[in-house]
Amino acid sequence: MHQALLVSEVLLDIFAQVNQIPSTGKKPLSWTSLASLAVTCKAFYEPAMDLLWAKVDRLQPLLGCVSRLHPLIYHRSRPPWDDTWAEGIEPLTADETHQFLHHSARIRSLCLPSTDRLFPLLSVIPIEPCVFPRLQSLALFSNTRMGLFLPHTLLPGAALKHLSIKAFDKNTADQLSMLSDRVCLCKQLVTLSCPSLDWAAWKHLSNLPTLVEVGIREVCGYDAPPVPLDRHIVDFSPFLNLTALSFTVESPAYVITILQHSQFPSVKTFWIMIEMIFSTEAEELFCALSCCKKTLEQLTVVLNEYHDPQHSYLKALTHLLCFTQLRFLQLDCLDSCIYLDNNLLLEATAAWPYIHTLKIEDCGIRPCVTFRGLFTAIHQCPQLESLRVLINTVNIDIDPDVQPTQHTSLRTLDLETPESPIGNAEVLARIILKWLPCVDQVNKVADDWEPWDEVNAYITSLRDVRRVMGDVSNT
């Protein structure tokens, strides 16, 4: 053996390069190479095994270390994700638990899909000690045996950087409380995706300088009660480096309270989906969002059920004019009309000079934007590439023969219209082709193709004619 291989730094660097070899078959070539290195000599065993076990995507590899289970898991005719073999199998014994945990200290990344058949095999393993002390990334798709992977003695695993809890079963009030407690033990979190947390956990998160992304998915439709709002809540510390924040919730109260008591000086992306919201709550939500007005670049708001006793417009855009850094905006409200006319669209595009994607989707009852208003507004956004709005296609207020001021960046144009059929398809095709030369079809990525089929046919035909005429002219 060359003397250079006895230097640990050199050996680790070589093995790290081996670990980057791209896959060419069912088994990654890097995996087979490291497995071969591990059995070459004692000096290679530890670093090779550390890399082999650094990332584990299922429980099967750990259970495969148990002699009794190995032939069941790696049966020739069974795919690696098949866990039907576990039905009726006795839980691990004390000796088998040591086999199961033989390599657990090496694991850095652990991803466990919902495998309820496998978790009963682990019933003998106590949840008190931290059995994955070097874990940096954890993704759980079920709360079953969550305490085993997030024990309350998490201090040895305080290096956990990425935590994702995808789903919870019913009757999970205790698990939600446990999750908040465990989150408070994580001192180096970078990304977090989980159900609702209590206010102590949010207070802890606000003090983490490492945190850059948080996603909250509320436990909707289950028996567990929502996280209660603290009557004596105090303002959180600024989330100094948080750049992305997202929520999926049944009602907006939880989100509004967090926004009202927080500072997000670095947030660039905000995404929220609300199952049901009332008009007064919508006003509160958009006002509370102003805490991100100086930095926010991407905003998505999806309101599945909007209730307004007065049946009036949702005036969301007026609250967003202060977001001068916006580059992406999507407002989706299926049960209400988002107020938008020519003047407001002009004001909005003036306020968002960097916008490249603008999607305003509503129930489509009363279109107030005309083509003249649309073209006037978008010329204030030279970087606009994708646009979706509700538009009036009956009253065409632009002369198709006038010399246009072309917008050459827009490529995706989705125009919603409640009128069917569209007023004058040929005139609209000529207007779109002249003013928006880079748009080849209207609504090509939307669901409502049919009203625009005739317009798109004219656009294609006119382009073909121009192409032929250009070829003749060149000849």
Tokens 């005309």 identify what position?
370
Number of folded domains that form the chain: 1
- Which of the residue ranges 44-53, 83-92, 224-233, 391-400 would you say has the lowest mean pLDDT? 224-233
Q: Which residue has the higher pLDDT, 330 or 82?
A: 330
Q: Which residue has the higher pLDDT, 287 or 18?
A: 287
Give the Cβ contact number of residue 208 at 10 Å: 21
pLDDT at residue 377 in the model: 95
Tell me if 314 sits within 8 A of 302, measured CB to CB: no
Read off the tokens for 18: 């081996």
Q: Which residue has the higher pLDDT, 320 or 176?
A: 320
Residue 125 pLDDT > 70: yes
pLDDT at residue 229 in the model: 59
pLDDT band of 156, cuts 50, 70, 90:
very low
What contacts 24+ positions apart, CB below 8 Å, involve 207-214? 207/237, 209/240, 209/241, 210/161, 210/241, 211/239, 211/241, 211/242, 212/241, 212/242, 212/243, 212/244, 213/242, 213/243, 213/244, 213/245, 214/242, 214/244, 214/245, 214/246
**30, part of any domain:** yes
Tell me if 303 sits within 8 A of 274, measured CB to CB: yes
The share of the chain scoring above pLDDT 90, in percent, equals 38
Task: Compute the average pLDDT of residues 459-469.
Answer: 83
Identify the DSSP state of 169. Answer: -
**31, part of any domain:** yes
To the nearest 10 degrees (0 to 180), the angle between helices 29-38 and 8-18 is 150
Tell me if 95 sits within 8 A of 125, measured CB to CB: no
The highest-confidence range among 7-16, 40-49, 248-257, 461-470, by mean pLDDT, is 248-257
62/209 Cα distance (integer angstroms) = 34
- Which of the residue ranges 211-220, 248-257, 426-435 would you say has the lowest mean pLDDT? 211-220
192/201 Cα distance (integer angstroms) = 12
Task: Compute the average pLDDT of residues 210-221.
Answer: 85
What contacts 24+ positions apart, CB below 8 Å, involve 200-204? 202/236, 202/258, 202/262, 203/234, 203/236, 203/237
Tell me if 183 sits within 8 A of 194, measured CB to CB: yes
What is the extent of the structural domain holding 7? 1-52
Residues linked to residue 412 through DSSP beta bridges, in sequence order: 386
340 phi, psi to nearest 5 deg: -155, 120
Q: Compute the CA torsion angle 440, 442, 444, 446 (nearest 10 deg).
A: 160
What is the Cα Rg of the chain in Å? 29
Tokens 């991100």 identify what position?
292
Residue 358 burial (CB < 10 Å; 0-12/13-18/19+)? buried
pLDDT at residue 405 in the model: 87
Tokens 């002219």 identify what position?
473
**214, part of any domain:** no
Please enumerate in sequence order all residues whose Cβ is within 8 A of that of 98, keeping only pairs 6 or more positions apart, or say none.
none
**2, part of any domain:** yes
Please enumerate in sequence order all residues whose Cβ is within 8 A of that of 76, keeping only pairs 6 or more positions apart, or say none.
none
Identify the DSSP state of 344. Answer: H
Alpha helix segments (H runs only) across 357-418: 371-378
**79, part of any domain:** no
213/227 Cα distance (integer angstroms) = 21
How distant, in Å, are the alpha carbons of 13, 23, 52, 61, 439 from that of 19? Answer: 10, 10, 8, 18, 45
Element (H, E) at 31: helix 29-38
Residue 306 pLDDT > 70: yes
Q: What 3-state class would DSSP assign to 137?
A: strand
**Per residue in 36-47, pLDDT tens?**
777 788 778 888
Alpha helix segments (H runs only) across 191-327: 199-206, 253-260, 279-288, 317-320
Tell me if 78 sits within 8 A of 109, measured CB to CB: no
Taking the alpha carbons of 438, 392, 417, 300 in that order, is the dihedral positive or negative? positive
**260, part of any domain:** no
**39, part of any domain:** yes
Tokens 């682990």 identify what position?
122
**308, part of any domain:** no
Q: Which pTM was predicted? A: 0.85
pLDDT band of 461, cuts 50, 70, 90:
very high
The maximal CA–CA distance of the chain, rounded, in angstroms, is 86
pLDDT band of 304, cuts 50, 70, 90:
confident
